[in-house]
Amino acid sequence: MARQVRFDRLGGPEVLTLHDVEVGEPAAGEVRIRVDAIGLNRAEILFREGTYFEQPTFPATLGYEAAGVVEATGEGVSHLAEGDPVAVVPAFSLTSYGTYGDHVIVPASAVVPRPANVSAVQAAAVWMAYITAYGPLFESGEVRPGDHVLITAAASSVGQAAVQIARHTGAIPIATTRDPAKRQRLLDAGAAHVVVTGDEDMPARVEEITGGEGVRLAFDPVAGPGVETLAQAIAPGGHLVVYGALDPRPTPLPNASSYPQLTSRAYSMHSISRDPERLRRAVAFVNAGLATGSFTPVVDRTFDLADIADAHRYMEAGGHIGKIVVTVSHD
């Protein structure tokens, strides 16, 4: 028997409960993993609440990321073997698979080797964050050495990964936060500059930092009307990339007459994680950074699997910096 988190109705963290289930054997193209750590993501809050782009079918499980050891492989899986230390990449639908459990089955295409120097807790904190940041900050070629990059909501796990990737590529990361208490921690984490948006005029501060040039790219999970303010900080020929919707209000397209040389677009890490060739390149890039120490996932706090509802409450409170990870004990 396995312990897995299930929920049978939409709602708050209290709907998440642990159940004993028969996990079974992996089918063709699948892998069964003994889970040691689980990375939490805001997408899972939205899925639990019914506001994600996919809707759960009850009883539902959830979870995009995990790290552990391969227990069994299904037919046709040749790149993984029993005993391999691995991590799970968000490369599947939450309506079909989930990682919240001590033993789970996931698609083999979503399982990647875990470098020897990376612990299970660190590996569970990597893939959603670093693949999300990798696309606009590296793969697209839009950011060059010496460019300024504006990273909003930079205390998030994706924001922290974006700061590290920007540094790795020779760019200059400018982090934003609403909380002045996070300023020094963001500087310590590698941000070249921090703008506290509740206390400072962000476009004016960015103009000062960049010598009037503006940033090459603004990387934003908030969306909503605030993108008009972000547009004011972007250099001619620059890019606005929106990868989330923390602000549920409609997101305007920055006015073409005011920002004629600005490119804006929505972006999802699934455009990489569900494309085998792009995912292969992303995994190689991130694993290389992990192996050399250029990338170090930031883990804010860990919870036990039995305390999954408390872990979700902590994530909803929004006071963390980096990743929240759930650990799994095997008695």
Question: Is the predicted pLDDT of residue 255 greater than 90, yes or no?
Answer: no
What is the per-residue pLDDT for 154? 95
Per-residue pLDDT, 117: 84
Domains and CATH numbers, the chain: 2-126+298-327 (3.90.180.10), 129-270 (3.40.50.720)
Instruction: Give the model's pLDDT for residue 291.
Output: 87
Mean pLDDT of the chain: 94
* pLDDT higher than threshold 90 for residue 289: yes
Q: What is the pLDDT of residues 130-148, one digit of tens each?
A: 999 999 999 998 999 999 9
Task: Write out pLDDT tens, residues 148-196.
Answer: 999 999 999 999 999 999 999 999 999 999 999 999 999 999 999 999 9
For residue 253, what pLDDT is reported? 78
Which residues share a beta bridge with 103? 34
pLDDT band at 258 (very low <50, low <70, confident <90, very high): low
Cα 60 to Cα 7: distance, rounded to the nearest angstrom: 5
pLDDT in tens, 63-94: 999 999 999 999 999 999 999 999 999 999 99
Residue 171's pLDDT is 97
The secondary structure of residue 139, as a DSSP letter, is I
| pLDDT bracket for residue 243 (50, 70, 90) | very high
103-107/30-39 β-pairing: antiparallel
Neighbours of 237 (CB within 10 A): 11
Mean pLDDT of 94-105: 97
- What is this structure's pTM? 0.92
The burial of 246, by beta-carbon neighbours within 10 Å (0-12 exposed, 13-18 middle, 19 or more buried), is given as: middle
| pLDDT in the model for residue 257 | 58
CA distance 264 to 284: 28
Q: Give strand pairing partners of 215.
A: 234
Residue with tokens 């839009």: 142
Q: What percent of the chain has pLDDT over 70?
A: 98
pLDDT of residue 331 exceeding 80: no
Query: Looking at the predicted structure, is the pLDDT value of residue 245 above 90?
Result: no
The answer to which of 16-20, 124-128, 183-187, 317-321 has the lowest mean pLDDT is: 317-321
In this prediction, residue 279 has a pLDDT band, given cuts at 50, 70 and 90, of very high
